[in-house]
Amino acid sequence: MHWSDGMHLSQRGGIMAGKSADRPAGRRPRIGIKEIAELANLSKTAVSYALNGTGRLDADTRARVIAIAREHGYQANLHARSLRGKGFGALAVFASVPPTMTEIISTTDYFIRLWQGAVSAALERGYMLLLAPFGTGPELLGNMPIDGGIIIDPIRQDPILEHLTAKGLPTVLVGKSQDERDSLNFTVDSPHGALATDIFSHFRSRGAERIGVILASQQYSYSVEVRRAYLDWIALTGQDDLFVEIDEAPLESAGYAAAQRLLSCHLRPDAIYTSLDRLAVGAFFAAERAQIRVPDELLIAAGSDGAVTRTAPVAITALDLHPDLLGRSAVEMLINQIEQEADPHEVLVPGDIVFRGSTDRPAAVA
């Protein structure tokens, strides 16, 4: 039984920089290439090579120069860098999301951890990382001074991807593009289908026989991969399909409504997997409303982890996709693409199942 419904249960951003006419008392004077060269007992050219990742310096010397620069608060002059043909030293993160999602995505644990990993990696390589307001259209990006961009969960015919490609800017995707013409991309992703299959196997090991699935919009590759994995699973096991696809914002309310549909079936599922964390919490409340006990009568697991799954009345088993590593890997891939010759390729960051109370019941007897 399969439902695909259309139940449809601004950000502004800016950067302001200024320079005070008088340096506040106690602030250290700005250090430059000349001062670092004196401290390192090297030429200014050698220091420049070390800080820009160019030239033929040994790794120890390069590391020593970078350490001195960090210790003394050195900041690269991005305008001068641009004039030297080295770019702006700035990268940007984008996400093409509908208006209903712009305020939601920025507060999710997944995004916050991804952003932290990405920022750390960018700073380590001497780049700034800018966050474009989610939902920003290409018309606002024409004069954005960046060397490349990262797109989180690109959608079909993604306008940001089309814009960056048209501008010839290096781009990395976190999540696959679903457009055939974009089959060759620099991509960082999670093995969503394989991880979902691991959850299905875990359900089965705990006695579940009828697994239901609640999927976010098929605009996103992770949802497509989970759907494919689920259809493969039921073909192998012979169970009927029990899944709901939603096109609205993947909040608890959407998970609640979708789970109500599944739980109202004559042969209702005894396990539910949701592609996102907040959908799983909604499924839990739907089960509670129907007086179906979790985990005794219903197992629940989520395809992403967050505070909502950890703090649910019964903590929910979830996938840790290691978004910090996804963010770090995306930045490393983008900078390598900017600074070196590289061919499009994909990096998969493994995930882990975090087992919690929502699936904590004795293993089934073989």
Ordered by start, the domain boundaries in the chain are 33-75, 88-189+323-342, 191-322+353-359
Write out the two tokens for 264.
């109202």
C-alpha R_g of the chain:
24
Structure confidence by residue, pLDDT tens digits, 184-234? 689 999 999 999 999 999 999 999 999 999 999 998 999 999 999 999 999
Residue 181 neighbours by CB distance under 10 Å = 7
- Rounded CA separation 359/351 (Å): 18
pTM of this structure: 0.77
Residue 90 neighbours by CB distance under 10 Å = 19
Average of pLDDT values for 137-154?
A: 84
C-alpha torsion angle, residues 40, 45, 51, 57 (rounded to 10):
-80
Structure confidence by residue, pLDDT tens digits, 5-29? 443 333 333 333 333 334 444 445 5
65/309: higher pLDDT: 309
Judged against a pLDDT cut of 90, whether residue 244 lies above it is answered with yes
Give the confidence band of 128 by pLDDT, cuts at 50, 70, 90: very high
Q: Report percent pLDDT > 90 for the chain.
A: 56
Residues 6+ apart with CB under 8 A from 86: 52
**pLDDT given at position 55:** 61
Residue with tokens 């992703």: 189
Domains 88-189+323-342 and 191-322+353-359 share a fold: yes
The CATH number that domain 191-322+353-359 falls under is: 3.40.50.2300
- Mean pLDDT rounded to a whole number for the chain: 85
Q: Is 65 left (phi over 0), alpha (psi -120 to 50) or beta?
A: alpha
Q: Report percent pLDDT > 70 for the chain.
A: 83
Top-tier CATH class for 88-189+323-342: alpha beta
- Rounded CA separation 326/347 (Å): 9
Judged against a pLDDT cut of 90, whether residue 285 lies above it is answered with yes
Structure confidence by residue, pLDDT tens digits, 95-109? 877 766 766 776 789
* Range of lowest pLDDT (127-136, 187-196, 274-283): 127-136
